[in-house]
Every structure is written in structure tokens, then in C-alpha cells.
Amino acid sequence: GESVGLHLPTLSVQEGDNSIINCAYSNSASDYFIWYKQESGKGPQFIIDIRSNMDKRQGQRVTVLLNKTVKHLSLQIAATQPGDSAVYFCAEINAGGTSYGKLTFGQGTILTVHP
């Protein structure tokens, strides 16, 4: 999951395993959540998003789960591949408020996939 401090959470998995990356968000007013992937030396890339009126959304090999009761978000990656190795960020926004387009990012989780 996300944490504050100098050391990012890490997750190491074997190729082919499923990965679960967790994120705790802070703002109860947030109604739109996004997962980004950042490979070394590159900018973050959009993976998948979910609105607060949903609790699950699936993409290609990825699933995002949202639990608003405990303000928790997770990203599940099926059949993890070495190319999935990256830092994963969750981001939140109150899309209906004045924060139009302004995301608040979590600290990130480092995913390492071993062949």
C-alpha cells in the first residue's frame, strides 16, 4: 500500500503470478480514482480509472477495486509479466468540485517481476 516516507512499498512477484497493489486515499470527497504506471526514466502512464459509483472495473489483465467505506483502492494485475515491473501510483480527484483535472497522487508502490 501507499505510505509516507523515504521508502516506497515494494512488491516482488514471479512471472505469471497475480499481483495486488493497494492504496489508501485520504479525501472522502474524492469521486474519481486512477492508477498510473511509471517505468524507469519515463513519465507516468494511465492504466485504468474508476468512479465512486462503482466498486469494480476491469481492463485488459487489470482490475481495480474500490472500497469507499474504508477509503481503499486496489489494482490487480493478472499473469504478471516482466514488462509490468514499474512504480504504480494511485491518484484521486473530486471531479465534481473545483479541482477540475487536478489529481492528488499517492506515494507509489514498486512492483518487481522476476522471470
Instruction: Catalog residues that contact another protein under the rule CB under 8 A.
Output: 4-8, 32-34, 41-46, 49, 89, 91, 93, 95, 100-103, 105-108
Q: 29 with 94: CB under 8 angstroms? A: yes
Instruction: Closer to another protein by CB, 41 or 115: give it.
Output: 41
Q: 33 with 91: CB under 8 angstroms? A: yes
Instruction: Closer to another protein by CB, 30 or 80: give it.
Output: 30
State the minimum distance, in angstroms, from the CB of residue 14 to another protein. 27
Instruction: Closer to another protein by CB, 56 or 102: give it.
Output: 102
Q: 49 with 35: CB under 8 angstroms? A: yes
Query: How far is Cα 12 from Cα 111, in angstroms, rounded to an integer?
Result: 6
State the minimum distance, in angstroms, from the CB of residue 27 to another protein. 13
Instruction: Closer to another protein by CB, 84 or 108: give it.
Output: 108
State the minimum distance, in angstroms, from the CB of residue 93 to another protein. 5
Residue 49, exposed/middle/buried by CB under 10 A (0-12, 13-18, 19+)? Answer: middle
